[in-house]
Structure 1
Amino acid sequence: MKKKVGFIGLGVMGKFMAGNLLKAGFPLTVYNRTPDKTKSLVSLGATAVNSPKAVGESAEVVITMVSDSPDVKEVVLGEQGVLRGARKGTVIVDMSTISPASSREIAEQVNAAGCHMLDAPVVGSKKAAEEATLGIMVGGDRKIFESCLEIFQAMGKKITYMGTQGMGAYTKMCIQLMVGATMETVAECLALGAKAGLNLNDLKECTLAGGAKTANMEMRGPKIIHRDFETHFALKHMCKDLRLVLATGEELGVPLPMAATALEMFKAARALGHGEEDVSSVIHAVEAMAGIKVGGA
């Protein structure tokens, strides 16, 4: 019999992840601060409740997929949090992108309550969430990880056990450093090419032929060229993630000048009004500085 699963946080990624758990046959209880976002899942067989506590009361494994460290603390440890309703032995799987320090702090309180916690952030776009092809990096007790593997496999394609508590979160910090820095570099590359008068589609193809190949150019380069900034990963979230990356570098004594520079450019794009758009909207900050418009008519 499949485990009873709870899912908290039905945003751009979470709604698809939760949907894939239903498709895989897991009994699912859902909660979202905006109740309307639960309706589509309820129509597919999920049960909606009115608090994280109620999710804890009904599930053996509770997944959280929310915006930031304070949000995870609130839904897990708050007055109406998961721990207020969870039975001993309940597994809480945080798939949000939060700081490793916060993840370990929350895990200490979860463990003290007789429950278990895994940190399991994801990599991949909205499309990957929809198609259940996310990458999932997991930290925590290996036996608990193995007991939840079937759940992870319903949402992702590449599931990697990274080690003890917090190691999934550390892995996500390393990845977001690369994603943020390469996205900013792609924007600069296209702006330089536009200013030089290059055919940007040809430039994009040239970058994919050698050492400059990057998923950000392959996936988001054409969207920048065609001025398509539909949100797959919001720019405001990259600002948050890079702040966490820099804090992690400070914690570990590792200088991260590329992350610091990239963050300033994402912040500039957000100040121009593009925070809710896709992360590729960083191009607007580069354009403003270079006096050039990239792509479009």
Structure 2
Amino acid sequence: MTAIAFIGLGIMGSPMAVHLVKAGHAVAGYNRTPAKAEPLTAAGGRAAESIADAVTGAEVVALMVPDSPDVQDVLTGPGGVFEHAAPGTLIIDFSSIRPDVTRELAEEAGRRGLRYLDAPVSGGEAGARNAALSIMVGGDADAFEAARPVFEAVGRTVVHVGPSGSGQTVKAANQLIVAANIEALAEAVVFLRAYGVDLEAALEVLGGGLAGSAVLAQKGANMAGHSFEPGFRIELHHKDLGVVTSAAREAGVVLPLGALVAQLVASANAVGDGALDHSALLRGVERLSGTA
């Protein structure tokens, strides 16, 4: 049994923390909205009153918060993790943030005698609830091995992809591919409907060929039913594509499709669709086509 502090009990963090309890770990969870700790306490975990309360005595500190400033605040802010974690503590950041910020935080953690892994995930809410996440991990190989029991409790595909920041870089690439796939699927749905094709039948046959993908399998029904209950919100994908475009500029590489998809996601966010699932990119194609 490992003593784990879990900071951030939202759509993704809550089921992940619950899986860690079910795997036999002692989990103290903290969220700014106390009610979000209820699933954790129902599973046998403990609701911490503060970051300091959660971190004190923890061997592992896991984070799942929205953006780079949130991670920086949790780790380096007053009363934060760096202030209260004992030397040797393993910090696992499951959040999706900028690779450069990750590297800076890892360096600071090292100066404080802490171990640090960036471990962003893919799989959305369904992956978190089913402990089937894909986890891309950056950081020291020994720290990765030490964290393996944590990863195996919440994920199905766990890969060490390189030094600090590598996990975030791979996640940025993941979000580029996912956004492009969702946009292509949305355009295909609008195209098929314009010709009066049986959409359910069309998606079934497309899914069985080269056009088949996890995106089609998981998001096709959302688009067919115009149901956009969030599994992964557009506003978060908008943030992630900002990471992609800024990192690409820093590296001096050109991502033409990435730039276009980033603008389409930004538009969806700007018109008020940010709280919807990213499959709601369909609404943007419908607006452009005059069929919304």
TM more than 0.5:
yes
2:57 and 2:81 mapped to 1: Cα distance? 10
Query: What TM-score does the superposition give when structure 2 sets the normalisation length?
Result: 0.97
Residue correspondence of structure 1 range 8-23 to structure 2 within 5 A = 8-23=7-22
Per the alignment, residue 47 of structure 2 pairs with 48
2:235 and 2:196 mapped to 1: Cα distance? 31
2:12 and 2:188 mapped to 1: Cα distance? 29
**Does the CA contact (< 8 Å) of 1:265 and 1:286 recur in 2?**
no
Tell me by how many angstroms 1:254 deviates: 1.2
Task: Look up the SS of the partner of 1:222 in the other structure.
Answer: helix
2:24 and 2:85 mapped to 1: Cα distance? 22
Per the alignment, residue 187 of structure 1 pairs with 186
Query: What per-residue deviation string (whole Å, max 9, x for no partner) do you get for residues 215-263 of structure 1?
Result: 2122111211111111100111110011111111111111111111112
Per the alignment, residue 64 of structure 1 pairs with 63
Tell me by how many angstroms 1:35 deviates: 1.1
1:91 and 1:9 mapped to 2: Cα distance? 17
**Does the CA contact (< 8 Å) of 2:7 and 2:31 recur in 1?**
yes
Per the alignment, residue 209 of structure 1 pairs with 208
Structure 1 stretches of 4+ moved >6 Å? none
Tell me by how many angstroms 1:13 deviates: 0.7
Residue correspondence of structure 1 range 226-241 to structure 2 within 5 A = 226-241=225-240
Shifted more, 200-209 versus 233-242: the winner is 200-209
Per the alignment, residue 132 of structure 1 pairs with 131
Query: What TM-score does the superposition give when structure 1 sets the normalisation length?
Result: 0.95
**Does the CA contact (< 8 Å) of 1:9 and 1:32 recur in 2?**
yes
2:202 and 2:247 mapped to 1: Cα distance? 35
**Does the CA contact (< 8 Å) of 2:5 and 2:60 recur in 1?**
yes
1:75 and 1:292 mapped to 2: Cα distance? 44
Answering whether residue 190 of structure 2 is matched by residue 223 of structure 1, we say no
**Does the CA contact (< 8 Å) of 1:194 and 1:292 recur in 2?**
no
Per the alignment, residue 140 of structure 2 pairs with 141
Tell me by how many angstroms 1:209 deviates: 2.7
Residue identity opposite 1:88 in structure 2: P
1:174 and 1:3 mapped to 2: Cα distance? 32
**Does the CA contact (< 8 Å) of 1:95 and 1:119 recur in 2?**
yes
Task: Look up the SS of the partner of 2:227 in the other structure.
Answer: coil
**Does the CA contact (< 8 Å) of 2:57 and 2:86 recur in 1?**
no
- Structure 1 residue ranges without an equivalent (≥5): none
Tell me by how many angstroms 1:283 deviates: 0.9
- Structure 2 residue ranges without an equivalent (≥5): none
Residue identity opposite 1:161 in structure 2: H
Answering whether residue 79 of structure 2 is matched by residue 89 of structure 1, we say no
Tell me by how many angstroms 1:271 deviates: 2.7
2:171 and 2:5 mapped to 1: Cα distance? 23
Tell me by how many angstroms 1:58 deviates: 2.5
Output the aligned Cα RMSD.
1.2
Residue correspondence of structure 1 range 226-265 to structure 2 within 5 A = 226-265=225-264
Tell me by how many angstroms 1:33 deviates: 0.9
Residue identity opposite 1:264 in structure 2: Q
